[in-house]
Structure 1
Amino acid sequence: MCYFEQTRWNCGYWKWGNFRQQCNKEYRTGETCGLKLVYSTNYQQGNCKLCDQIQKKCRRITKMQTDIARWQQEGNRTATIEKTERDIHDITAQVNEIMAQHNERQMKVT
């Protein structure tokens, strides 16, 4: 039951911070018992790093979709459209993976 700082963002994502206080169960200097308790919580304004990554990828997907719509009107770009659609599929899979990580961390109880 050693105490650590915690950082928490508005979206609910959190991470452990620096070691702050040793518990009574651990007698060796510099060692921790393995059980983490919150010493203090630092609230951060704005988005966490995962939310930032999700937003960037969503903006990229939106740009690709507008490009595809423009290319379809122009015509004669079938290979480019197919490649961009594959890229959109890959990026969407990455977004889903990041969102799963984010939701998993939000559901963990500190």
Structure 2
Amino acid sequence: MCYFDHTLWPCGYWKWGTFRAQCNKEYRTGETCGLKLIFNTYLERDVCKMCDTMHTKQRRLAKMADDVRRWRGEGNRHATIEKTEREMIALNIQIGDLWVEHTTRKNAINY
């Protein structure tokens, strides 16, 4: 039952911080017993790095969708449209993977 700082973002994402205090079960200096308890929680006001990455990818995806819509109106960019649509699919998969990782971390007890 060693104590660590804890950082918490508004979205629920969290991470362990620095080691603060050693419990009485661990007698070796500099070692921890493996059980983490919260010494102090620091609330962050900004968005977490993972949310920021997802927002960036979503903005890029919206820009690509607008470009495809405009190119379809022009009519002579079939190869560019196909390439951009493939990139949009890959970007959607990346956003989904980030969302799953974020949700898993948010709901995890020990990560």
Scaled by the length of structure 1, what TM-score is found? 0.97
Q: What is the deviation of 1:109?
A: 3.2
1:5-44 equivalences in 2 (<5 Å): 5-44=5-44
Q: What is the deviation of 1:16?
A: 0.3
Q: Secondary structure at the match of 1:47?
A: coil
Residue type at the aligned position of 1:28: R
Query: Displaced runs of 4+ in structure 1, greater than 3 A?
Result: none
Matches of 2:25 and 2:91 in 1, distance apart? Answer: 47
1:1-110 equivalences in 2 (<5 Å): 1-109=1-109
Residue type at the aligned position of 1:70: R
Matches of 2:101 and 2:39 in 1, distance apart? Answer: 25
Residue type at the aligned position of 2:71: W
| Alpha-carbon RMSD | 0.8
Q: What is the deviation of 1:108?
A: 1.7
Matches of 1:99 and 1:24 in 2, distance apart? Answer: 39
Matches of 2:33 and 2:80 in 1, distance apart? Answer: 56
Matches of 1:78 and 1:7 in 2, distance apart? Answer: 48
Q: Structure 2: which 5+ residue stretches go unaligned?
A: none
Matches of 1:104 and 1:36 in 2, distance apart? Answer: 19
Deviation digits for residues 58-96 of structure 1 (CA, Å, limit 9, x no counterpart): 000000000000000001101000000000000110000
Matches of 2:19 and 2:89 in 1, distance apart? Answer: 41
Scaled by the length of structure 2, what TM-score is found? 0.96
Q: What is the deviation of 1:106?
A: 1.2
